[in-house]
Structure 1
């Protein structure tokens, strides 16, 4: 099974990156292209979910993102079920890199197996790749702080 892996050096702390990931509405709107219609209050804890749309050019699909594993502020594993656009695994690893953070983003098709799955999911993976770059560098430029409920 093929996957796309990208590494980003972001000039801020891993904790600041995690603040962005904790803000599920902002993160999903930036990466998926539309704000979630419904998101679990406990986002991004393991088992939390978000219902949202995914837009690729003129194609729009409803999607469900499920957090499969979360270890703040270092690891976030999600499953993105985007209907005809495919089902993807999406892993984010955030590590200290001197005074910065090294973020590894891995995207891979989950089912069905084989080349068809990869080809079917490739547009979604490429879209997420470009949007992750933008949202991670936004964390670098912003003055993110934890929002108290």
Structure 2
């Protein structure tokens, strides 16, 4: 798996709140766009987000399903991008004191055309993409945390 991490200045629950809002998925996952539907039970095991990937007008319909979840701690997803492939994604939240979280995002392409690429080539695409995804996740988590009145107003 290709893993990136980022320390964010909010507790794990604040990060997980963003992840648990399936409608925010396209706001932090680079490449995801146009959320079509989110199962009411998201992020329960087996629940789905139905979205598109890519830039208009070249978008592909995609589905992401929860494979495992420990609220506030971790979320394992399977993203299905049609012929492009299937990916396993693991998001882990590690508390650092009372007000910081190390967010780890690990991804591996497990099938389809993307799975045929060597891991070194996959890393050239996935690592920068996932670093940007974590930066976006941080911005959303910090903003929500601040709006809720539980974080610093910096």
- Whether TM-score is above 0.5 comes out as yes
Note if contact 2:85-2:115 (Cα within 8 Å) is conserved in structure 1: no
Indicate the residue corresponding to 1:10 in structure 2.
8
Note if contact 1:86-1:121 (Cα within 8 Å) is conserved in structure 2: no
RMSD: 2.7
- What TM-score, normalized to structure 2? 0.78
User: Quick one: structure 1 residues 102 and 7, their matched pair in 2 at CA, closer, same or farther if it must change by over 3 Å?
Assistant: same
SS at match of 1:84: helix
- 1:39-50 matches, within 5 Å, as 39-50=38-49
**For this pair of structures, how many residues does the alignment match?**
143
Q: What residue ranges of structure 1 are gaps of 5+ in the alignment?
A: none
Distance 1:121 1:84 in 2: 19
Q: What residue ranges of structure 2 are gaps of 5+ in the alignment?
A: 149-154
Indicate the residue corresponding to 1:106 in structure 2.
106
Q: Deviations over 1:10-69 (max 9, x none)?
A: 000001111111111012343143232011001011110011001158742110100000
Indicate the residue corresponding to 1:127 in structure 2.
129
Q: 2:20 aligns with which of 18, 22, 30?
A: 22
Indicate the residue corresponding to 2:151 in structure 1.
none
